[in-house]
């Protein structure tokens, strides 16, 4: 006989179970809460100094290994894949110990609640959990106080037979319930530590915790001197503590007693997610008032700040790593090398380089992660002694990688604490004040050059989760801050533990953090790592908040890649390329990038996948020499169209006459099965040909250019690559060192490759090509192609080649800054003013020609502009009938005696009667009409 879950019997049973739970609460938990309320102002501090970061108070080895059911809201849950018509019960116990073995009755529970079938929840909840799939939807009848206590406990959902034996059992995913029960937490004040002359207040969101207290330490090393009990607010889930003492300058941690599935009831000693300061290696949070004068470098309050840009398209960005910037700069005092304070050394070679870029028109420096990250030991990091070895030797990388886990270098995409500066860049990582003061000194120094300062931020994942010592969020509210898969395991599609910014309190942490950097550190813009893993709605909320904090627009750009468990809007509308149109938020475009330098590939493909810049269809290398000429030409024609798409701002509705002769909007142009055009406005696109990811452009060209390409021509190809970025509509983004022919000795992923493979040379003598085989971990399969290139001295540039590229970028920035036509603000302006005369079926795909109509446009500077980019190693002649009779002259930058490239003055020819242009080999030309 089938046991039914519906009807009055089930509701009566559920009611009896709820009463039993309330009786248990009254008998066990409420007296404990009352005792906590009446406890003294401090607790014994010995627990603060336990030898481990976690103490297991009650183990729970029998907990279900999976959490396949989900709370949809405070009273409703779903078990995907489970069917209606069975008996479902929810068992609970404060410290775990529930045994749900198939074929047996459940044991070890403190209580049980029978569940009834439930109607489908509202539309918002259905959309949020659509990814989970169909299944039985169940509900319980209980008041909010009962539910809050239930969510502090271990929970096991069981499907039983008529005799009460277990058929299946699972744990539950809790975010839906916590977000509903504690919705007020999204706006609740008080998170973090807040010192004042009247006392110090602490706040922590930990709605599932049993008990919370705050440990106070006199410094970064000694034992705790106080332990303050925290009190729970049932409306918000916040725990708060207060003392009458002004504790600024002291250190603290939280003790959080909480149930963790698979471990049991634990006491976690953990730093504060809202830490604004930290001690060495982030073991303790530091108590600070960021408005304290002691945390400001001299002159901070009155320091000038560059004005806001008039439009996002005015951004031209130099992406820079703090340690790379100065570590090898002998003009920087030794104590400052690799640190924030190197930027305050105004007379250094590195600062002279940035000053020259700023004077040429660069608007922003974007710093690779400078929040607190976990992958570099802040005290005692190793400095490998790399041997002098052959250019193609594996010895260098062997030494570097032997110390990689404990050396002083990492890109920093390993978030530990989002709101505090990284300690390894400070003069004393154990001094909480030093991090803050020196970070501000860096910002102030860059602002003094006229450069705005952007941060590369990584809110899409954390370095660690679970009970790891470097896990913060998951040890405070287990199972909430990270995105879970169908089995309740943390998703790792971003490489690490993915955060769930679709959950209100994770979104709040991200938004609060961005506001803090804008308000207290004068950060001018942000670059978001893997932004497509975040909801568009959360990013738009962040935009509103940071704009309000700054009192001006704060540009937001990021990686809008569409992949992983959130791909194609599976969980929410993403902040991804195809979902951001109309938002004003910029995303990096891979369309022109891949067309220019060639697509990704391994082995032979690393050489064979040439792009428009490095020989596709016109300068074959050893791997492509035998390719079918017709196929190669077709690929070149398509690549040229994609380059034009990039120059037009990757705008979805911009109409281009493509190589097939058809005029169509860019969203109809194919890019690997996706629309080539996706942006609604040029400011929503970030143009680049190189950034910190993957090989540098110089190294990719070492693979793909014919091996007999001269070092001078390699520098010219580099300049052409930079020109496509500078002349494209949208944001211009340059990787630090692209203008000095930067090489990483062909390393494809230098995130943990140490200082050796990430060097910059502001003396302009070396680009570090041929300084050893790159690390085996990411490159060993390509060593057969890499080694002979590194050993070839002809592929290394001379100082003159480096100087040519260096000065060439400055010229390009001057050209970009000279006319608003290169920085158009709307899709309508681009459509009306930009055309490509050498396009369509009859085009010469080796030369890109772009025409800009400046008549009547504010700031145009010229009536018309015509730019010509010749990627070919031979001079090319273009007949452009539309340009006949026009009295073009070279752009003033080309005509300057100090121009980096002399070919425009010496070799370029223009016959106005025929509209004929002779473009020198591998050259960019810009003509203007006054």
Q: Residue 499's beta-bridge partner residues? A: 482
Length of the chain: 930
Indicate if 187 belongs to the active site.
no
Given the residues 529, 623, 684, 807, select the one marked as catalytic.
529
What are the start-end ranges of the H helices in 331-373?
349-360
How far apart are the C-alpha atoms of 536 and 155, rounded to whole Å? 33
Residue 398 contacts by C-beta under 8 Å, 6 or more apart in sequence?
Answer: none
Closest Cα to residue 826, out of 858, 851, 850, 849? 858
Phi, psi of 429 (to 5 degrees): -65, -20
Give the torsion sign (CA, 591, 592, 595, 599): negative
Instruction: Tell me how far apart the alpha carbons of residues 69 and 156 are, in angstroms, rounded to a whole number.
Output: 9
Say how many CA atoms lie within 13 Å of 929 toward its Cβ. Answer: 16
> Burial level of 887, CB count in 10 A (0-12/13-18/19+)?
exposed
R_g over Cα of the chain: 31
DSSP state of 535: B
Q: 685-687 and 731-735 as β-strands: parallel, antiparallel, unpaired?
A: parallel
Q: How far apart are CA 390 and CA 407, in angstroms?
A: 23
Alpha helices in 484-535 (DSSP H): 504-521
Any idea of the CA torsion for 833, 835, 837, 840, to the nearest 10 degrees? -160
List Cβ neighbours of 343 (8 Å cut-off, separation of 6 or more): 325, 326, 351, 441, 442, 445, 446
Q: Which two tokens stand for residue 300?
A: 């901070």
Q: How far apart are CA 625 and CA 704, in angstroms?
A: 12
Q: What one-character DSSP code corresponds to residue 794?
A: G
Q: Phi and psi of 720, rounded to 5°?
A: -60, -40
3-state secondary structure 224-239: CCEEEECEECCCCCEE
User: 479 and 262 in contact (C-beta within 8 Å)?
Assistant: no
Q: In what order do the strands lie in the sheet with 231-232?
A: 192-196, 199-205, 238-243, 231-232
Read off the tokens for 264. 């049991």
> 795 CB contacts (<8 Å, ≥6 apart)?
702, 707, 711, 714, 769, 770, 789
- Helix, strand or coil for residue 629? helix
Question: At 43, which helix (H) or strand (E)?
Answer: none
Place of tokens 């009547």: 856
Sign of CA dihedral 625, 626, 627, 629: positive
| 160 is a catalytic site residue | no
Q: How far apart are the C-alpha atoms of 533 and 569, rounded to whole Å?
A: 10
Considering the candidates 559, 684, 766, 864, report the single residue annotated as catalytic.
559
Residues 366 and 525: beta-carbon distance below 8 Å: yes
Q: Which two tokens stand for residue 37?
A: 């309320």
Burial of residue 24 (CB within 10 Å: 0-12, 13-18, 19+) is middle
Query: Angle 629-647/711-727 helices, nearest 10 degrees?
Result: 50
Please give the angle made by the CA atoms of 180, 185 and 191, to the nearest 5 degrees.
Answer: 150
As a whole number of angstroms, the distance between CA 483 and CA 589 comes to 26
State whether the Cα torsion 119-125-130-132 is positive or negative: negative
Residues 6+ positions from 19 with CB-CB distance below 8 Å: none
Residues labelled catalytic: 529, 559
């Amino acid at each position: 006989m089938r046991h039914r879950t519906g009807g009055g019997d089930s509701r009566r049973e559920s009611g009896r179970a709820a009463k039993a739970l309330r009786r248990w609460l009254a008998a066990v938990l409420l007296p404990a809460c009352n005792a906590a309320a009446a406890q003294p102002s401090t607790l014994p501090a010995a627990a603060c100094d336990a030898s481990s970061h976690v103490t297991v108070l009650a183990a729970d080895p029998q907990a279900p290994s999976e959490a396949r059911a989900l709370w949809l809201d405070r009273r409703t849950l779903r078990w995907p894949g489970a069917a209606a018509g069975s008996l479902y019960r929810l068992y609970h116990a404060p410290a775990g110990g529930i045994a749900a073995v198939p074929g047996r009755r459940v044991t070890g529970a403190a209580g049980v609640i029978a569940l009834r079938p439930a109607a489908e929840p509202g539309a918002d909840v259905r959309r949020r959990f659509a990814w989970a799939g169909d299944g039985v939807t169940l509900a319980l009848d209980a008041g909010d106080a009962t539910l809050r206590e239930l969510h502090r406990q271990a929970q096991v959902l069981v499907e039983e037979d008529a005799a009460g034996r277990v058929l299946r059992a699972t744990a539950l995913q809790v975010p839906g319930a916590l977000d509903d029960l504690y919705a007020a937490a999204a706006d609740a004040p008080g998170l973090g530590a807040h010192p004042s002359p009247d006392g110090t207040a602490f706040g922590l969101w930990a709605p599932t915790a049993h008990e919370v207290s705050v440990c106070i330490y006199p410094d970064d090393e000694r034992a705790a001197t106080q332990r303050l009990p925290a009190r729970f607010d049932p409306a918000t889930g916040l725990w708060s503590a207060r003392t009458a003492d002004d504790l600024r300058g002291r250190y603290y941690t939280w003790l959080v007693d909480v149930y963790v599935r698979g471990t049991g009831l634990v006491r976690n000693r953990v730093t504060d997610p809202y830490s604004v300061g930290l001690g060495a290696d982030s073991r303790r949070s530091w108590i600070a008032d960021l408005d304290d004068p002691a945390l400001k470098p001299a002159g901070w309050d009155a320091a000038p700040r560059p004005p806001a840009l008039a439009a996002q398209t005015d951004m031209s960005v130099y992406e820079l790593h703090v340690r790379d910037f100065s570590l090898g700069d002998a003009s920087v005092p030794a104590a400052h090398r690799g640190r924030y304070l190197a930027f305050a050394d105004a007379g250094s070679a590195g600062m002279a380089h940035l000053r020259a870029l700023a004077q040429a028109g660069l608007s922003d420096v974007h710093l690779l992660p400078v929040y607190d990250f976990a992958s570099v030991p802040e005290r005692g990091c190793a400095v490998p002694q790399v041997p002098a070895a052959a250019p193609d030797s594996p010895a260098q990388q062997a030494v570097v990688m032997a110390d990689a886990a404990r050396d002083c270098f990492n890109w920093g995409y390993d978030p530990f604490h989002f709101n505090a500066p990284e300690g390894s860049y400070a003069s004393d990582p154990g001094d909480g004040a030093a991090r803050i003061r020196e970070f501000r000194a860096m910002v102030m120094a860059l602002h003094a050059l006229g450069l705005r300062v952007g941060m590369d931020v990584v809110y899409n994942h954390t370095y660690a989760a679970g009970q790891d010592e470097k896990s913060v969020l998951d040890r405070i509210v287990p199972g909430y801050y990270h995105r879970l898969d169908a089995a309740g395991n943390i998703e790792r599609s971003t490489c690490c533990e993915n955060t769930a910014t679709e959950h209100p309190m994770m979104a709040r942490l991200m938004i609060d953090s961005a506001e803090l950097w804008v308000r207290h550190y004068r950060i001018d813009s942000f670059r978001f790592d893997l932004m497509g893993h975040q909801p568009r709605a959360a990013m738009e909320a962040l935009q509103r908040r940071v704009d309000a904090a700054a009192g001006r627009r704060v540009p937001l750009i990021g990686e809008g890649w569409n992949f992983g468990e959130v791909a194609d809007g599976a969980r929410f509308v993403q902040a991804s390329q195809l979902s951001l149109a109309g938002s004003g938020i910029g995303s990096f475009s891979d369309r022109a990038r891949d067309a220019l330098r060639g697509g990704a590939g391994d082995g032979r493909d690393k050489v064979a996948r040439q792009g428009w810049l490095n020989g596709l269809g016109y300068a074959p290398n050893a791997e492509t020499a035998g390719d079918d000429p017709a196929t190669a030409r077709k690929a070149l024609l398509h690549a040229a169209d994609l380059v034009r798409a990039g120059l037009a701002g990757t705008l979805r509705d911009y109409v281009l006459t493509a190589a097939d002769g058809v005029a169509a909007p860019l969203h109809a142009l194919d890019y690997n099965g996706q629309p080539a055009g996706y942006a609604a406005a040029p400011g929503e696109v970030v143009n680049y040909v190189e950034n910190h990811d993957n090989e540098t452009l110089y190294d990719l060209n070492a693979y793909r250019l014919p091996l007999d390409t001269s070092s001078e021509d390699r520098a010219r190809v580099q300049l052409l690559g930079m020109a496509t970025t500078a002349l494209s509509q949208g944001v211009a983004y340059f990787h630090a060192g692209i203008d000095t022919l930067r090489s990483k000795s062909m390393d494809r992923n230098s995130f943990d490759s140490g200082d050796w493979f990430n060097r910059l040379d502001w003396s302009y003598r070396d680009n570090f090509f041929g300084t050893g085989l790159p690390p085996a971990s990411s490159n060993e399969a390509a060593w057969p192609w890499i080694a002979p290139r590194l050993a070839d001295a002809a592929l290394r540039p001379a100082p003159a080649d480096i100087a040519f590229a260096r000065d060439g970028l400055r010229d390009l920035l001057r050209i970009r800054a000279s006319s608003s036509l290169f920085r158009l603000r709307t899709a309508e302006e681009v459509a009306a003013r930009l055309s490509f005369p050498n396009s369509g079926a009859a085009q010469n795909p080796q030369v890109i020609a772009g025409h800009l109509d400046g008549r009547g446009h504010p700031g145009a500077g010229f009536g018309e502009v015509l730019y010509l980019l010749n990627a070919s190693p031979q001079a090319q002649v273009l007949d452009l009938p539309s340009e006949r009779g026009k009295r073009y002259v070279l752009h003033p930058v080309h005509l300057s005696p100090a121009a980096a490239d002399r070919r425009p003055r010496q070799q370029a020819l223009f016959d106005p009667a025929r509209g004929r242009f002779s473009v020198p080999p591998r050259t960019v030309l810009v003509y203007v009409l006054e």
